[in-house]
């Protein structure tokens, strides 16, 4: 009779561990992120290349002369978008960027429609979108000035600064 008691206790202990593990897993998956990640996402579509320059002169995007990928800004990522069926494009992502001014330089490599979308997300998770559309020809260049704030409710601006 002693053996069944040991098996019962062993089973009871394993069952308790299993239940506790399941409860912890359910609690873990039910958690939500309380602080949204601040970010800037720049989507560029059309015959051209772009780069972002932060307040320290660091660049992310593509080199306007060589086309090489640049990722000098901490937390930045540069992704190729599009397929042969879609307009080719690039995305420049900046995770947790500091409040400040960012220059966005665009250089046309061909003729056609050039589209840029700038999404900004502040500390409260508020998404704001700025959109710019231009017809371009090879050699056209444009510089935009993005003023970004992590503060909830602050206005982020995108201004066409100059054509160079």
Residues 60, 134 within the same domain: yes
Q: Give the range of the structural domain holding residue 6, as residue numbers without chain letter.
A: 1-31
Least confident residue range of 15-29, 43-57, 104-118, 143-157: 15-29
Same domain, residue pair 141 and 109: yes
Question: At a CB cut-off of 8 Å and minimum separation 6, what does 105 contact?
Answer: 50, 51, 53, 64, 141, 142, 143, 144
- Check residues 32 and 95 and name the one with the higher pLDDT: 95
147, pLDDT greater than 90: yes
This prediction has a pTM of 0.73
142 Cβ contact list (under 8 Å, min separation 6) = 105, 106, 134, 160, 162, 163, 164
- The more confidently predicted of residues 30 and 44 is 44
At residue 37 the predicted structure's pLDDT band, cuts being 50, 70 and 90, is confident
* 24 and 47 assigned to the same domain: no
Span 13-19, mean pLDDT? 55
Look at residue 95 in the predicted model and tell me its pLDDT: 93
47 and 100 part of one domain: yes
66 and 132 assigned to the same domain? yes
Contact by Cβ (8 Å): 136, 48 = yes
Model confidence at 21: pLDDT above 90: no
Residue 69 backbone dihedrals phi, psi, to 5 degrees: -75, 135
pLDDT value at residue 115: 86
Q: Mark whether 19 and 56 lie in a shared domain.
A: no
pLDDT band at 78 (very low <50, low <70, confident <90, very high): very high
Beta strand residue intervals within the chain, DSSP E: 39-45, 48-53, 59-62, 69-71, 76-81, 89-95, 100-108, 112-121, 127-136, 141-148, 157-162
Average pLDDT of the chain, as a whole number:
80
Q: Tell me, yes or no, whether 54 and 127 share the same domain.
A: yes
- Total domain count, the chain: 2
């Amino acid at each position: 009779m002693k053996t069944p008691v040991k098996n019962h206790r062993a089973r009871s202990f394993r069952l308790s561990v299993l239940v506790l593990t399941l409860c912890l897993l359910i609690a873990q998956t039910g958690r939500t992120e309380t602080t949204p990640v601040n970010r800037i996402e720049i989507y560029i579509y059309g015959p051209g290349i772009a780069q972002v320059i932060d307040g320290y002169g660091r660049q992310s995007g593509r080199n306007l002369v060589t086309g090489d990928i640049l990722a000098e800004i901490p937390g930045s990522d540069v992704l190729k978008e599009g397929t042969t069926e879609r307009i080719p494009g690039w995305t420049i992502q900046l995770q947790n960027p500091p409040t400040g001014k960012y220059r966005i330089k665009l250089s046309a490599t061909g003729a056609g429609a050039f589209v840029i979308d700038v999404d900004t997300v502040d500390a409260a998770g508020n998404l704001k979108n700025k959109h710019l559309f231009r017809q371009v020809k090879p050699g056209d260049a444009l510089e935009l000035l993005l003023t970004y704030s992590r503060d909830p409710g602050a206005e982020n601006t995108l201004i066409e600064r100059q054509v160079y």
